[in-house]
């Protein structure tokens, strides 16, 4: 039976981390809210009607009778089922830890353009966003990427856990792609100091199912409605 993925239909957002894992797994899924009549279906589940384990927000995944929310939680579930997480407890804990660290970086990247309030327009917090971006690009991007670089050094590469790919690699690829889109100038500078992350991202992009996905219309483009937004004034 196909999985049902529920996420906002017009952006990559946090749903993209789930899509990448589903695609690499070759798992059949429906991207429900992008189908005709899908949005009302998602909203009904969000309102919690008849839902035993209600989600706080998209993305969430329906797998048989299970309804699973929170990106890292969905990936923990899918990774274990589709060979994209280690079989050992130790390995599973570490891949979850890496994913949660990626999630922290993603949340901070979103805060850059919405430092005051997620519910207000970017234009109403543009000055503050510029200050936030300065700090994020100078301090936080190098710290996060430096951490993942050191994990790759420690594992021996080419992937975060060593020789086998995991869902955290797909997520790191998406984080790096997003940062490159949002902060091209700063990322060019930051990546000069990195040796192992770029080859990892290339390897991910070249995996047959991922390459196929990225070239398809299932892959939405980055946009200024999503997490990684291209505002040149924030990439000073």
150, 224, 225, 230: which one binds a copy of itself (CB under 8 A): 150
Q: How far is the CB of 116 from a copy of itself (least distance, A)?
A: 5
Number of residues that bind a copy of itself (CB under 8 A): 43
Asked if 128 interacts with a copy of itself (CB under 8 A), we say yes
Shortest CB 192 distance to a copy of itself, Å:
22
Closer residue to a copy of itself in complex, CB, 12/96: 96
Residues 153-192 within binding reach of a copy of itself (CB under 8 A)? 154
Determine how β-strand 3-6 pairs with β-strand 29-31. parallel
- Asked if 9 and 39 count as a contact pair (C-beta separation under 8 A), the reply is yes
Which position among 44, 135, 195, 209 is part of the footprint of a copy of itself (CB under 8 A)? Answer: 135
Q: Which residues contact 83 (CB under 8 A, 6 or more apart)?
A: 25
Would you say 82 or 218 has its CB closer to a copy of itself?
82
Contact call for residue 116 and a copy of itself (CB under 8 A): yes
Q: Are 47 and 2 in contact (CB under 8 A)?
A: no
User: For 160, how many CA atoms within 13 A lie in the half-sphere containing its CB?
Assistant: 27
Binding residue (CB under 8 A) for a copy of itself from 26, 122, 126, 139? 139
- Structure-token pair, residue 197: 């992350």
Asked if 132 touches a copy of itself (CB under 8 A), the answer is: yes
Point out which span in 27-35, 54-62, 215-223, 227-235 binds a copy of itself (CB under 8 A). Answer: 54-62
> Is residue 9 a contact residue for a copy of itself (CB under 8 A)?
no
Q: Work out whether 216 is an interface residue with a copy of itself (CB under 8 A).
A: no
Tokens of 193: 């100091």
Instruction: Give the residue ranges of DSSP H helices in the chain.
Output: 15-25, 38-46, 71-81, 89-113, 126-135, 141-155, 167-182, 184-191, 197-206, 208-215
All residues at 6 or more sequence positions from 117 whose CB lies less than 8 Å from its CB, including other chains = 125
Q: Among the candidate windows 21-29, 91-99, 178-186, 204-212, which touches a copy of itself by CB under 8 A? A: 91-99
**CB distance 28 to 3 below 8 Å:** yes
- To the nearest 10°, report the CA torsion of 15, 77, 158, 211: -40
The residues binding a copy of itself (CB under 8 A) are 48, 51-56, 66, 68-70, 72-73, 76-77, 90, 93-94, 96-97, 100-101, 104, 107, 111, 115-120, 125, 128, 131-132, 135-136, 139, 144, 147, 150-151, 154
């Amino acid at each position: 039976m196909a999985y049902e993925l529920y996420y906002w239909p017009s952006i990559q957002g946090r749903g993209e981390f789930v899509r990448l894992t589903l695609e690499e797994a070759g798992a059949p899924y429906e991207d429900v809210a992008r189908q005709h009549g899908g949005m009302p279906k998602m909203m009904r589940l969000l309102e919690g009607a008849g839902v035993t384990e209600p989600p706080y927000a998209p993305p969430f995944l329906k797998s048989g009778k299970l309804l699973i929310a929170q990106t890292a939680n969905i990936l923990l579930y899918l990774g274990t089922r589709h060979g994209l997480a280690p079989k050992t407890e130790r390995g599973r804990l570490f891949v979850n830890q890496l994913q949660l660290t990626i999630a922290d970086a993603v949340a901070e990247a979103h805060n850059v353009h919405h430092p005051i309030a997620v519910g207000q327009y970017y234009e109403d917090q543009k000055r503050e966003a510029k200050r936030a971006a300065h700090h994020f690009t100078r301090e936080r991007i190098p710290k996060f990427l430096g951490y993942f670089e050191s994990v790759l050094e420690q594992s021996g590469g080419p992937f975060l856990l060593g020789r086998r790919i995991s869902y955290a690699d797909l997520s790191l690829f998406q984080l790096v792609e997003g940062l490159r889109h949002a902060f091209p100038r700063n990322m060019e500078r930051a990546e000069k100091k990195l040796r192992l992350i770029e080859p990892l991202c290339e390897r991910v992009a070249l995996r047959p199912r991922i390459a196929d996905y990225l070239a398809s219309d299932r892959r939405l483009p980055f946009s200024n409605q999503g997490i990684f937004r291209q505002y040149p004034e924030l990439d000073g």
